[in-house]
Structure 1
């Protein structure tokens, strides 16, 4: 049997992990890395300056797209119209309109599009989803997702689009909620069984920033799903220390804590399926379902759209920020932000409702 021919677009940063993964499968005789596309120099593999050049030069079965957010849709279109299936990094699109455009493209071409929310292929996440659906936690009071991360000036300086809401007139919608901690929101929606576009009833956003960037780095977002579930997202990139993110299901019979980054549920370690292997299995047998088909990211995209259309993040006043480090390691710490995140999670409340001292504007309902 001919091995699937795989290409990777965007191989610096997270894209390097995709190259390593394809190499792993190639060594096992399960795939072939036919080339990579990146405008920056690449050594050790057959490289092209663009995906268009790569597709013109060689036949490809699967394209992995790990490029800036605003390039996802045009590159996915190139790949699908060339007859390739796609593994598309998250967030899949920067707007609901782009999501609808990409959905039509999938339908038109018949190609598969798997989105890189790898936590949704975790047995820990899927097990908790079954526990919730079976009613083992009783009546669900709500679901919260918390992220207390650290990001330095180096992170925001790594690319022109980093920390941007728009770039060269094009939506980017980078930010704590939509990119680095996007897995938290996506996992929370999955646990509620609310992954589709129509599964989200409303989204309220409170976006703040301590860094000199356009996008948010400290935010709360409250989602109400069509099922009536409240999902509260409370995240920061300005914590004292970098901690494991978590999704908490609050039930009348107890709470359950999912640490999705390490595949732990209630302290128990679970396995995780590989999204590329799953996509290759789906190619070989369409009866094998994708873990994260594009349609299952519609609810998340509704959140991206709410962030995109929200007012620009409010700058956190200097008196609530402590700066640490120098040069590329310089970073802000929002004072006591961990406590406010924990309270937001417990009470399913926005920062302003709790009286967090840096809040000035009332929450805005975007949809």
Structure 2
């Protein structure tokens, strides 16, 4: 089966979708739709596909097996409903909706029509995340006690990396980028046990011409498995994208930028000699990870095959896994439940940003 696929939205993020669908041997790219028909035609000319200015025309003219929605978040729900009415499975860029209420409306509509819908959470398919997940599920780390995420260097609220529509969000472009660290923490730590377990705090530090609610954020929650998770996300700072997973047998440090993992399995009280050996061991592990990444990049430059591409590009990896699921009529690799908790945690930050209290606001 070849999965006939189209993309709605010809903006910044759509290029990775167009190229990934075009390269994937399991998918056939047939159309691109955008309200700006000239922009749609420009993208269509690069891939020799048909341009559309209206989603209804796209759905009527093409016999689609899959549709990618890459438009502003405010348009996701109505566009998704039109595709669901046509019975077309969906992959929707993050955040899937602006609010949990909209997400639940979409979820109910998809269930009613028996049409699968999945969010784009591509960093869950990064090599370092896949390795961490294998280590967690194999029991190598023992019982997971906590997860700490540090995600700094995010865009300031007044940047328009995705378009000016982000300025309608309380945190602007800063908020638009928050799903990435949040869904990453949910992936390794698990979902919160309840809304009541979530605490949040925000601050507005920068001085902006437009009015924004926050540009710094912190979240904490306890998962269904009693894992204590803490997330710190900052704009206007040097970039660090790191996740620490604390287990009873081993702990790991994930560097999401360098795509390396450091393992800690020694006791805290060590002699000076053992501390020296530990430092050497960690340095060797770090160097080994960098060398593996360098080899992967070299392979990518020499090989243009799809299997190499999905190892290097997390978007492509998610597209491939989802296309396989559609072929097999199987469960989507990323659930809407993950998206729901991501949005719920962002809503906690919005609630916190509207209160002027010294302690974290709890929802």
- In structure 1, the partner of 2:346 is 304
CA distance in 1, matches of 2:156, 2:352: 25
Which of 77, 80, 103 is matched with 2:81 structurally? 77
CA contact (8 A) 1:86 1:112 kept: yes
SS in structure 2 at match of 1:126: helix
Q: CA deviation at 1:298?
A: 3.1
SS in structure 1 at match of 2:230: strand
CA distance in 2, matches of 1:364, 1:121: 32
Q: CA deviation at 1:101?
A: 0.9
Q: TM-score, normalised by structure 2?
A: 0.74
SS in structure 2 at match of 1:207: strand
SS in structure 1 at match of 2:221: strand
CA distance in 2, matches of 1:218, 1:5: 41
Q: Does 1:257 align with 2:253?
A: yes
Which of 68, 71, 76 is matched with 1:67 structurally? 71
Higher mean C-alpha displacement, 71-80 vs 290-299: 290-299
How has the CA–CA distance of structure 1 residues 200 and 79 changed in structure 2, closer, same or farther, with 3 Å as cutoff?
same
Which of 13, 33, 36 is matched with 1:37 structurally? 33
Which of 182, 189, 197 is matched with 1:202 structurally? 197
CA contact (8 A) 2:147 2:230 kept: yes
Q: CA deviation at 1:89?
A: 1.0
CA distance in 2, matches of 1:258, 1:214: 31
Residues 158-213 of structure 1: CA distance to partner in whole angstroms, max 9, x if unpaired? Answer: 633224336xxxxxx7553x53132222121121232xx76655222212231524
How has the CA–CA distance of structure 1 residues 6 and 38 changed in structure 2, closer, same or farther, with 3 Å as cutoff?
same
Which of 184, 196, 199 is matched with 2:181 structurally? 184
The 5-angstrom pairing of residues 1-367 of structure 1 reads 1=1, 3-25=2-24, 28=25, 30-40=26-36, 41-42=38-39, 43-45=42-44, 46-149=50-153, 151=155, 155-156=159-160, 159-165=163-169, 174=172, 176=174, 178-194=175-191, 201-209=196-204, 210-212=206-208, 213-239=211-237, 241=238, 243-260=239-256, 263-266=259-262, 267=286, 268=289, 271=311, 274-287=317-330, 289-312=331-354, 361-366=358-363
Q: Report how many residues are paired.
A: 305
Q: CA deviation at 1:131?
A: 2.7
CA distance in 2, matches of 1:116, 1:229: 25
How has the CA–CA distance of structure 1 residues 249 and 290 changed in structure 2, closer, same or farther, with 3 Å as cutoff?
same
SS in structure 1 at match of 2:22: helix
How has the CA–CA distance of structure 1 residues 54 and 219 changed in structure 2, closer, same or farther, with 3 Å as cutoff?
same
CA distance in 2, matches of 1:152, 1:310: 18
Q: CA deviation at 1:69?
A: 1.4
CA contact (8 A) 2:91 2:120 kept: yes
Q: Which has the larger Rg?
A: 2
Unpaired runs of at least 5, structure 2 = 45-49, 263-285, 294-310
Q: CA deviation at 1:18?
A: 0.9
How has the CA–CA distance of structure 1 residues 60 and 134 changed in structure 2, closer, same or farther, with 3 Å as cutoff?
closer
CA contact (8 A) 1:148 1:236 kept: yes
CA distance in 1, matches of 2:129, 2:345: 20
Higher helix share: 2
Q: CA deviation at 1:130?
A: 3.8
